[in-house]
Amino acid sequence: MTDHVDWTSDYLNDTQSVLNAGRRLRRVLSKDHSTREYAVTQLERAAQQQKTGGEGYRAFMFSELDTAAEGDKQKRERVMEDVLAGVLTDLNVANVLMAAGQTLGEMGQKAGANVLDEALLRLENTTRIIEQSLPVPLSIGAEPGRFGFAEAAAELIVADSADLPSAIEGFRKRSNETLDDFVDQAKGVAVSIVAGLSKLDASKVLEALSGLGEKIEELPKVGRLFSQGIKKLQSAVDALMRLLGNDLLKKVKEQVGKIWNGFKDGKYVSAPLEWAFGIEGAKKEIEAALLSQGLNQQTLDEASNAVAKLRISFKENMGMLSGVVSAVSLAGTLLFIVPAIGQPLTLAAASIYVVILGAVVLIGMDYTDSGTVLKRIHGVGEIAKGLAS
């Protein structure tokens, strides 16, 4: 408990320090050189401190994930969400550093101050999210709606059936609606990813798809603050890949490829997502479970409530991944205007987008239990199997 409080507090304070230092630099952009230099140094130091604190925080969280029993899915889900929130935060820190470097003209022509303004606003919003969610003790688990991407109170309608037949029908209806909503929520993220991929060289996208799960090639380090931003960007992506697991990412190459090919060919992504998540199989499993002997009304209502929580939790995860896509998109905008890194960037950008698409697939599979690959969620399939017992 103490370690969690210490690491989380340090991480939050260090991130806030980067935000404050970035704001300070923004205020003095039009001042004299020595004043700007002082602000730059402060931002550099804050970023270095946040880097050190972030590495310690992630090491602690990954240690908690590695030592958590496979059956302790409450803790495994919580750790996964917190690390994902850290990835989103670090990407926005990276963007502040790169935007600051661009605004100062580290690579030549200066960018407008609006570039830094946008990066600071995004980091401010993300900081507010993690300040209200990460400090909650790990023992409490992943409470629905704690990141603010889903309206938990409005969406969590407690099941209270009048009799056994209505409890059976209630579970069937809620489970099927939840599975369909998984696809709808994931589709929004997937569309934004493939839209980003469609702007890149198609050959590089194919190379990124074939290399899913492999380490992403490092980008050249240029500039002062900008180079720190590149390092932070790569660190965040490395953390995401470690969270998912390189071997698991390799296992979903086919699913990720189908989603990309479906969009590229002018089709919707719903069908590939349904196939990737195993929606049809999950619905059949639900029907089989509801034919079991000895079903209990209270157990069914409790299962319906558990499924409702899954729906909110999945929406939270997709909300964070949507933020990750947005942050990566901004990072790409900042990177592409630097001639020195333009060439290797296309493959790196494609690879990062593909990794996030892999995250969508793996998390979706975990929530439906089509593959029980990540084994971090007590998903719809497991809940259905538990009805008879």
Q: Indicate the SS3 state at residue 127.
A: helix
HSE, side-chain direction, 13 A CA sphere, residue 300: 25
Domain ranges of the chain: 1-137+221-243, 161-212+252-389
Angle (CA) 17-23-29 rounded to 5° is: 135
Which two three-digit tokens encode residue 50?
């946040």
Contact 274/365 with Cβ under 8 angstroms?
Answer: no
Rounded distance, CA 318 to CA 338, Å? 31
The domain made up of 1-137+221-243 is a member of CATH 1.20.120: yes
Q: Indicate the SS3 state at residue 237.
A: helix
Q: What is the mean pLDDT of residues 147-165?
A: 73
| DSSP type of residue 140 | G
In this predicted structure, what is the pLDDT of residue 17? Answer: 97
* Residue 264 pLDDT greater than 80, yes or no: no
Which carries the bigger pLDDT value, residue 306 or residue 107? 306
Which positions ≥6 away from 344 have C-beta within 8 Å? 217, 219, 220
pLDDT per position as a tens digit, 121-140: 999 999 999 998 898 888 88
* Residue 315 pLDDT greater than 80, yes or no: yes
Rounded distance, CA 243 to CA 87, Å? 10
Of 31-40, 195-204, 286-295, the range with the highest mean pLDDT is 31-40
% of residues, the chain, pLDDT over 70: 94
**What per-residue string of b and e applies to 271-284 under the rule 16 or more CB within 10 Å gives b?**
ebbbbbbbbeebbe
In this predicted structure, what is the pLDDT of residue 218? Answer: 81
Of the pLDDT bands very low, low, confident and very high (cuts 50, 70, 90), residue 261 is confident
Rounded distance, CA 105 to CA 21, Å? 18
Rounded distance, CA 259 to CA 80, Å? 24
* Residue 93 pLDDT greater than 70, yes or no: yes
Rounded distance, CA 370 to CA 380, Å? 9
* Residue 324 pLDDT greater than 90, yes or no: yes
pLDDT per position as a tens digit, 229-254: 999 999 999 999 999 999 999 999 99
What 68-72 contacts at long range (C-beta under 8 Å, 24+ apart), as own/partner pairs, is 70/375
* Residue 145 pLDDT greater than 70, yes or no: yes
Contact 49/17 with Cβ under 8 angstroms?
Answer: yes
Nearest to residue 83, comparing CAs of 144, 8, 20, 151? 8
For residue 199, give the H/E element and its range.
none
Which positions ≥6 away from 168 have C-beta within 8 Å? 290, 295, 300
Which two three-digit tokens encode residue 149?
């991407």
Which carries the bigger pLDDT value, residue 349 or residue 263? 349
In this predicted structure, what is the pLDDT of residue 343? Answer: 63
